[in-house]
Amino acid sequence: MNSPEAVPALEAVVTRAAETFKETLRRYHPWLRPDSAEQRSGNTERNLSYQFAQGFRAMYGESGLVVMEVPLPSKRDVYEDHLDAYLFAPQLAVLLECKVHSGNDSLADVAADMGRMTPAMLEQIRKRHQGPDPSKAHETLAMVLVEAWGRKGSSLEWWRDELKRARKAHGKLPSDCCYGGTEIFEANPRSDGTLYWLYAYRHLDRTL
């Protein structure tokens, strides 16, 4: 199966957000000892969505709309669920969920988040727009952004390679997504001391 093509507009936002976060880490380490697995803790999912939102607003300025923790109705029809972030500009709209990778079991959560970002969810969110018709965004994507620590190069290798990804995740991750990643920070190249952003996305607007 051929992998879906990358979306340049989305990749540009990831690059901008990653560079901003790298600059932050050159000035401040949120970890007590990032070189020690016992003392290193991941950033929160909210930090991931915030970093991505910063990159989005930097790219699109005043035309960019960012809404965090978007309320959504649960199966009980009560607004107790949420989407980590919704980002909209005329060129690009993104439904975003974030995850901190804590082992292979968390990959099932990545797949579940991607699965729940459906055309029905997109329609709910679009109805709340008060401005330009949101259906006119050039591209609309569902995206999961994952923070992961690993050995230098290893995380990117298995995440980007379809066969290795399928083996590691035991087929849990969807095959119809574009997968990418970038190195963020290196604390210790000889152990699982390199911080990565791994991400997957697919078009939602083409399924409506």
Question: Distance between CA 162 and CA 148 in Å, rounded?
Answer: 18
> What would the DSSP string read from start to end of 121-177?
HHHHHHTT--SS-GGGSSEEEEEEEEEEEESTTHHHHHHH-HHHHHHHTTT-S-SSS
Non-local CB neighbours of 190 within 8 Å, separated by 6+ positions: none
Give the pLDDT score at 48.
93
The amino acid at 18: A
CA proximity to 186, closest of 196, 178, 200? 196
**Considering the entire predicted model, what is its pTM?**
0.89
On the CB side of 195, CA atoms within 13 Å amount to 22
Strands (E), 16-162: 65-72, 81-88, 92-100, 139-150
Question: Distance between CA 125 and CA 142 in Å, rounded?
Answer: 13
> Which of these ranges, 26-30, 123-127, 191-195, has the smallest mean pLDDT?
191-195
Non-local CB neighbours of 160 within 8 Å, separated by 6+ positions: 179, 180, 181
- Percentage above 70 pLDDT, the chain: 85
To the nearest 10°, the Cα dihedral for 5, 45, 90, 129?
A: 130
**Does position 37 have pLDDT exceeding 70, yes or no?**
no
Which two structure tokens, joined as six digits, stand for 178?
């574009």
CA proximity to 162, closest of 182, 179, 148, 146? 179
Report pLDDT digits (tens) over 117-175: 999 999 999 989 987 787 889 999 999 999 888 877 777 888 888 778 877 777 778 88
Non-local CB neighbours of 184 within 8 Å, separated by 6+ positions: 18, 21, 22, 25, 195, 196, 197
Contact 187, 40 (CB under 8 A): yes
Question: Distance between CA 203 and CA 176 in Å, rounded?
Answer: 9
Question: Distance between CA 34 and CA 194 in Å, rounded?
Answer: 9
Give the mean pLDDT of the chain: 85
